[in-house]
Amino acid sequence: MLCPGAATSRWLGFGAAVLAEAGVRLISVDRPGLGASTPLPGRSLLDWATDLRHFSAVRALKGLRAVGFSQGAPFALACAAARVVEGVAIVSGGDELAHPAMRALLHPDVAKLVALTATDPAQAEAFFAGMSAELMWNMVIGMSHEADRAVYTAPRFAEAYRRALDEAFSQGTAGYARDTVLAMSRWPFELESLTVPADLWYGALDTSTVHSPDHGQALASRIPTARRHVVPDAGGALLWTHAGSILKSLLAR
């Protein structure tokens, strides 16, 4: 089960050849208000875990594991905390930026947004609602390492990525805005209580200010079952450049 990154629809997958070889099916579900999914105003991260529990029951899914990319990380971890999944891989994941351990590590611009989200979540949500598919594309390209830009701007990938952005914003910006408030707030579950296997994957060249500022070091220390992988020659596009390693590790645990 893929929990996509910020403002992307279920259209953008990964690792097709690896999945086919392993006989594994990749499922991605649009979060409320994004793509084809009905809005759910005021939703929480735990509501997502409830949605996925219902989805997996209706579809009779067994052995479900989650991959959370970038802003999809807290949604995948919510499913792990609720034991909806049997394992989780966090890839270039956004950290719990509002956690006290993160405060000194945040980029000043991100710190301001985290503070606004804590003090006035409604205003923060209104601010995030000013995003668009084009602005998101420019932001991602602008904050990425050159190694990631080479991946994201390759013609086939760029076409798929931009389609996923357009689909995510097809109902407007409220879904993305709510996602971002949830990601930048304190998370309503204890990472220290996670019992399912968790792999944390980061590229040492990742320069995104909204991923984990210490490449998952503090995050791994909070999750008892965590196994942290930092790939020296990779950036934030790790999900597509190292899909084989990520899936092999997730499926083996």
Question: How far is it, in rounded angstroms, from Cα 210 to Cα 128?
Answer: 14
Residue-level pLDDT at 253: 83
Distance of CA 132 to the CA centre of its chain: 18
- 124, amino acid identity: A
Total residue count of the chain as it appears in this document: 253
Report whether 129 contacts 173 (CB < 8 A).
yes
Domains, the chain: 2-252 (3.40.50.1820)
Q: Give me the pLDDT at residue 22, please.
A: 92
The pLDDT of residue 185: 99
Which pLDDT value is given to residue 149? 98
Looking at residue 178, what is its pLDDT?
98
Q: Does pTM surpass 0.95?
A: yes
Tokens of 77: 């971890």
Q: Please provide the distance, in angstroms rounded to a whole number, between the alpha carbons at the two ends of the chain.
A: 15
Query: What is the predicted pLDDT for the residue at 55?
Result: 97
Give burial (CB, 10 Å; 0-12/13-18/19+) of 57.
exposed
Q: What is the rounded distance in angstroms from the CA atom of residue 7 to the CA atom of residue 24?
A: 25
| pLDDT averaged per 10 residues, the chain (length 253) | 97 94 95 97 97 97 97 99 98 98 96 98 98 98 97 98 98 98 98 98 97 97 98 98 97 90
Tell me what the pLDDT averaged over the chain comes to.
97
Which pLDDT score, from 0 to 100, does residue 38 have? 96
